[in-house]
Structure 1
Amino acid sequence: MRNLIIMFCIVGLQLMYCSCKKNNSSEDAVGSIVGKWKLSEVYSDPGDGSGKFTKVNGGKILEFTSEGEVSSNSSLCSMISNGLLHEESSYIISESSGNRNKLIIDKCGYELNYELKGNQLTIYYPCIEGCGERFVRVGN
């Protein structure tokens, strides 16, 4: 009987530990990026560090699902935003590095850096000079 009580105590403590443990997995990062995003600004740098974000009336829409799927009416892998394409792929979020996270879209085959601040998502593409797109949340 005493062994049974000790076993229940150990199992109970393990359950409490697991339920209280902070989850730093990619699920947390994925949950924050989930939703519909509309292009609002683009960033380009001529190579001298003088680049800045410029407002656009872009029609590019990104939609991230909690199931790890992303779709767009433009290119997922570049700053092409003609609104004429329909691309879909799966994605994962890898560990963050500083204030930027890593977004891996399977279709692209390389990592993208992104920042999420409130309802603003900025994605940086692999360019020789700096380049990126900034989106605003338009739906969940």
Structure 2
Amino acid sequence: MKNLLLIIFILSVNLGCRKETDSVIEDDVITRWNLIAKYNFTGDGSGDFIALNSNKNIEFLKSGKVRSNGNLCNFDPDTDVPTEATQSIKNSDIILNPINCPGINLHVLFIASDTMDIYYPCIEGCIMRFKKIK
């Protein structure tokens, strides 16, 4: 009986001392996307995508949240400010609402099963193209 109580005590102390982390468990990630191109507006109504070599990624999580290792609030390929967003559906469109960026709504368009465009609010046509990471 004493041994059983000792085992229960050791287990409860061990479990009570575990450090909690804010990281998302890998199983929570549904899909990962890497930034591969940015739309280049020429000013005359034409434009094209320009390939980028960026480490900016976006992850869609089972919880419905979205996170990025870069700033989703602006049209920038850098990875200096990680951000999160919520997602919603409006008129069959997927909308990302970056947290801490009031009034910013990003429209998501899947142009292929492994390619996604994110439209930023601007006059010139601000689009970032992402490729699904296998």
- TM-score normalised by the shorter chain: which range applies? 0.5 to 0.7
Identity %: 35
1:64 to 44, 54, 60: 60
Answer yes or no: is 1:126 the counterpart of 2:107.
no
Aligned length: 102
Task: State yes or no: 1:111 paired with 2:81.
Answer: no
Q: How does 1:39-118 map to 2 (within 5 A)?
A: 39-96=35-92, 101-107=93-99, 108=101, 109-116=103-110, 117-118=112-113
**Cα pair distance change 1:63/1:43, threshold 3 Å:** same
Aligned residue for 1:36? 32
Give the whole-Å Cα distance in 1 for the aligned partners of 2:54 and 2:96. 23
Structure number with the higher helix fraction is: 1
**Unaligned stretches of 5+ residues in structure 2:** 1-29
Runs ≥4 in structure 1, deviation > 4 angstroms? none
In structure 2, the residue corresponding to 1:123 is in which secondary structure?
strand
CA distance in 2, matches of 1:72, 1:106: 10
Deviations 1:103-130 (A, max 9, x none): 1315243332221121000011111211
Give me the CA root mean square deviation: 1.7
1:79-110: CA deviation from partner (whole Å, max 9, x where unpaired)? 222112111232222222xxxx2413152433
- Superposed CA offset, 1:52-97 (max 9, x none): 111110111011112111111111122222112111232222222x
**Distance of aligned partners of 1:57 and 1:76 in 2 relative to their CA distance in 1, 3 Å threshold:** same
**Taking CA–CA contacts closer than 8 Å with sequence separation of 6 or more, which of the two structures ends up with the larger relative contact order?**
1
Determine the C-alpha separation between the residues in 2 that align with 1:138 and 1:57. 14
Q: Structure 1: give runs of 5+ residues left out of the alignment.
A: 1-33
Deviations 1:14-69 (A, max 9, x none): xxxxxxxxxxxxxxxxxxxx411000010031332211111110111011112111
